[in-house]
Amino acid sequence: MNHARFALVPLLLLLPQQTPPAPRVSLPVEWTLVAVVPPTPALSTGIALELSRAALGRGHLDLSADPGVDHVRVHALLGAAVSSPRWQACQDLFISIDGQARRRARLRPALVRMPGGVYDAVTADLTILDVRAMARAQSVRLEVCGEQLPLPGDASARLADFVERFYRLGEFQGPAPPAPLPLVVPIEDDAPAVAVEPPTPA
């Protein structure tokens, strides 16, 4: 009889009971604001341009480059503080040197809104050869949307300094390459070989 009583014990009491899951706790999320600052170019210069419709009567041509990374490209920013934009729909920047068309560069809009107006700006990619030609010229004229923007007389000195620093910063700074080995060439078929020093590069 006692065995029969133990047989009536529910099987559920013999099974291991599962622990209920712990309630989820939402932790507060902390946000950190990080200012994204564009890298400072290794080389830059600026030239003021006469522009009658500008708020201060002038615009600016800013050139920047990083010769250690790109040995050719020069970034150009052309802009002016005005009441209403005019250059944003333009697609090309024309550069004339000594009265001859030299360069046609594709423009990219870079408008900046300000209180009371905008900074009507466009950017383009030039080459160091373009800037060198501008530095050596007697006259340089930029054209955007039909507006003529001649460079002032003192721009040549600024551009020449930019070109000189560009080439200096772009020079190889590593160890000097090993000296070339002498070339061994025979004078005649039956003559012994002689060592000939290679020509020294200019």
Average pLDDT, the chain: 78
Cα distance between residue 161 and residue 152, in whole Å: 15
- Confidence class of residue 50 from pLDDT cuts 50, 70 and 90? very high
Q: Which residue is it, tokens 């990619």?
A: 125
Read off the pTM.
0.65
Q: Which residue is it, tokens 């923007």?
A: 149
Query: Where is 65: in which H helix or E strand?
Result: strand 58-65
Q: Where are the domains of the chain?
A: 43-89+106-138+151-169
Summarize pLDDT for 118-146 with one digit per residue, the tens: 999 999 999 999 999 999 999 999 999 99
Dmax (CA) for the chain in angstroms is 125
Distances in Å between the alpha carbon of 39 and those of 64, 66, 72, 73, 139? 11, 10, 19, 16, 33
pLDDT at 73 over 80: yes
Summarize pLDDT for 21-38 with one digit per residue, the tens: 666 655 554 544 443 444
Q: Span 32-56, mean pLDDT?
A: 75
Q: Span 3-7, mean pLDDT?
A: 49
pLDDT at 11 over 80: no
Give strand pairing partners of 185.
194
Q: In this prediction, what percent of the chain has a pLDDT beyond 70?
A: 65
Cα distance between residue 91 and residue 104, in whole Å: 10
| Count of C-beta atoms within a 10 Å radius of residue 75 | 16
